[in-house]
Amino acid sequence: MSQDRSITSELGFLARHAMYKTVKPYSLRFTPPESLPRQNLEIEKKEVTIHDARSLNPTLDVHGFTLTRIPTRMRYEDFRDHDKIETVYANELQSHLKNLLQAPHVRVIDYVVRRRHPEFPISTGEDYESQQPAALIHLDFSHDEAIHMLKTLCGDSAYEIMRHRWQLINLWRPLRGPVFDWPLAICDARTFDQDRDAQAADAVYPEWAYENVLVHHHPDQRWYYFHGMEESETMLFKCTDGDKLAVGGCPHGAFPNPWSESATTSSSMPRESVESRAFVMWAPIDEWPTEVGTLYGPGRRLRTGSLSSLTH
């Protein structure tokens, strides 16, 4: 009989506050003028049971997430090299997704490396060298934002792409394993009701912004993690799916793990991980279209309606 590795821990959710019926949640990723609040997020922590997904054998089609092994030539120190991540590692991910999902076109669009500071989640008052675990439950992009990103990248070719199946997929991999420290919790997409529990929000930079999704807690949600993930393992999960009849995106976020307190010293080292995001497309086109726009930074086109929360 397999060991029960379910964990009881706290996850951070957006509170069901009345103001979000008229005011869109936002967070500023820069220091604003004193007259402007940096964010308007009301966060609540909920104690939930997080089940070990290794006994579930989840799939992308049924649960919205799965576990796979992606061979890589990257060494630990290579994940400090931006060029190697964008060339060697991105190409490895694209090849693997093409084979795994039988998709003719895959385009890795970005990545983030997280290295937990020993003081996290307590703020040091200074900027961290690396990004920290994202403890607020979220989806990286809304469905509308994903469509806008496709249009920004591909211009008019996006309309042909969207006439066929497409997905935006997250790929989450430890840089050192096994991971016990602040692992990633993932929600079974079948138990996430977007109409009931999703709230579009703006993440705002000085010259650009994007729309993500924050999540309200509901007892029907079922949460999982993969116990002791190794650096050879990668969690795949949907951000969104162009097929409205398919299961959608999986809310996710890091959580404090009581197992790490009793784990060996090497196993409880601060978590280090790399997360990438990729468009997967089944459109019958010969090659990925010539890119016409920029997803991030000052050159990025804003969606119609962006920054609405800052204009009320």
Write out pLDDT tens, residues 28-39.
999 888 888 999
3-class SS at 304?
Answer: coil
Are 215 and 274 in contact, with CB atoms under 8 Å apart? no
- The span from the CA of 235 to the CA of 33, in Å, is 39
Does the model's pTM come out above 0.85?
yes
pLDDT at 302: 43
The tens digit of pLDDT for each residue in 223-244 reads 999 999 999 999 999 999 999 9
- For 82, the token pair is 């931006």
Tell me the CA end-to-end span of the chain in Å, nearest whole number: 57
99, 80 contact by CB (below 8 A): no
149 with 212: CB under 8 angstroms?
A: no
What amino acid occupies position 176? R
- Cβ(181)–Cβ(269) below 8 Å: yes
pLDDT score at 44: 98
DSSP state of 87: I
Q: What's the residue count for the chain?
A: 312
Determine the Cα–Cα distance for residues 5 and 24; give it in Å rounded to an integer.
38
pLDDT of residue 3: 76
Longest dimension (CA), the chain: 59
Q: Would you give the DSSP letter of residue 45?
A: E
Q: Given this model, what pLDDT does residue 92 score?
A: 98
- CATH classification of 47-310, choosing from 3.40.50, 1.10.10, 2.60.120, 2.60.40? 2.60.120
DSSP string, 238-280: EEEES-TTS-----EEE---THHHHS-TTTTSPPEEEEEEEEE
User: Got the DSSP string for 104-148?
Assistant: SEEEEEEEEEEE--TTTTS--SS--SSBPP--B-EESS-HHHHHH
Place of tokens 């093409």: 98
Tell me the average confidence (pLDDT) per consecutive run of 10 residues in the chain, 312 residues long: 84 97 95 89 98 96 98 97 96 98 95 93 78 96 97 93 97 96 98 98 92 98 98 98 96 91 60 97 89 69 39 32
pLDDT the model gives residue 2: 61
Which of 66, 68, 63, 13 lies closest to 41 in space, CA to CA?
A: 13
Q: Give the pLDDT of residue 297.
A: 63
CA distance 207 to 175: 32
Which residues share a beta bridge with 106? 280
Question: In this predicted structure, what is the pLDDT of residue 15?
Answer: 98
